Amino acid sequence: MRILAKKMADAEGVRERVLLSVQDGKIASVDSWNDATRPESFDVDARDALLLPGFLDIHVHGGAGRAVMEGTEDALNAVAVHLARHGVTGFLSTTITAGWDDQLAALRMAANAMRSPENGRNGAAVLGCHLEGPYINPKRKGAQPGQHILLPDVEDFKSRVGDLISVVKVITLAPEMPGALDLIRLLTSQGTIVSIGHTDATYDEIDAAIAAGARHITHCFNAMSQLGSREPGVVGAALSHPELTAELIWDNVHVHPASCRALINAKGPNGVILISDGIPGAGMEEGYAFSLGDLPVVVHDGTARLPDGTLAGSILTLETAFANAQSYDLLERAAMSSRNAAVALGLGESKGLLAPGFDADFVLLNPDGSVRQTFVAGNCVYS
């Protein structure tokens, strides 16, 4: 198969009139087409479209009315199909703070999906799991169910998660909670990315977490201590520590566009990862009601909120986040929507670039920015 695209962009550059060849699920070559080039049978004629690496969403709870916390194959598949419609080729199924039975069910389902030959055949591929909680600070729980919040406990975590630790690619926790630093050391020794989030930590407590191995910030600016003149808080630490990669929900609701730009300008485009934080309400109509754990949520005016007005995840999709970041060039946006996540997950040799030898995971965007087609390992999973 060949893709003829008007323009191609990834984190390493932008090219016009690209002819990309795919073989056995990998990118075989990247060449050029000219006015004499004619599409052949099985070619994809996208000579008016933008070709990008597939978006990678490392923080998404659900969409199209379904949630990964349902803990079923059907729900996870439905989320994967929903994400493919929005240009996502790989994702981390993201839990919420819940009872261990529910969290482990979601972990097992992600593990099953990763082992399945069908993973990525009909939608975005499951790349692992992101545990958002249960080791968070009740003061900054946001829409997380408070009754299931736990203090970090190394032995309890090991006994419950066991071999499923290999599926946990990211875990969000509050480093100021008693026992958190010991858990951070354990998790980083196992290759899990420890992300600082739902936290009231001081700048000094973030320093201690970095020393223990934390390297990531969950949905920067949201559910965390803010930047002050004498106490920089988590936001100040995110802005000033190059070791920390920051997630960003760029929906112009969770974070003001000026704050988005301030974060990217401080860290550089390689230090920020666009996420959706999508929940079951993503892709659903105005007034759609559902539950986040046992908390009631309603989609209203482009947001998802609890009855008290608290934002409860987002209904953002990543092609919209990509468009919202248009003050940055295509190369920079391709880094934030794909390449940076691939590198963070240790997949930098196979995903996030459009180059020979890389997985044929890519998305074609129409001139208006909408998703035309999504491909995973060279297979069209959305058109």
Which residues are known to be catalytic? 277
Report the chain's C-alpha Rg in angstroms.
Answer: 20
Residue type, position 354, single letter: L
Of residues 144, 190, 199, the one with CA closest to residue 169 = 190
If you search the block for the tokens 């055949």, which residue do you land on?
121
Rounded distance, CA 363 to CA 349, Å?
A: 19
> Coil, helix or strand for 51?
strand
Rounded distance, CA 75 to CA 12, Å?
A: 36
The answer to whether 48 and 4 have CB atoms below 8 angstroms apart is no
Of residues 265, 278, 264, the one with CA closest to residue 318 = 278
Paired tokens of 259? 């704050």
Neighbouring C-beta atoms of residue 256, cutoff 10 Å: 11
The answer to whether 364 and 3 have CB atoms below 8 angstroms apart is yes
Paired tokens of 24? 């056995």
Residue type, position 26, single letter: K
If phi over 0 gives left and psi between -120 and 50 gives alpha, with beta otherwise, what is residue 303? beta
Of residues 96, 64, 95, 104, the one with CA closest to residue 80 = 64
**DSSP E strands, 54-118:** 55-60, 62-63, 66-67, 88-94
Paired tokens of 220? 């920067």
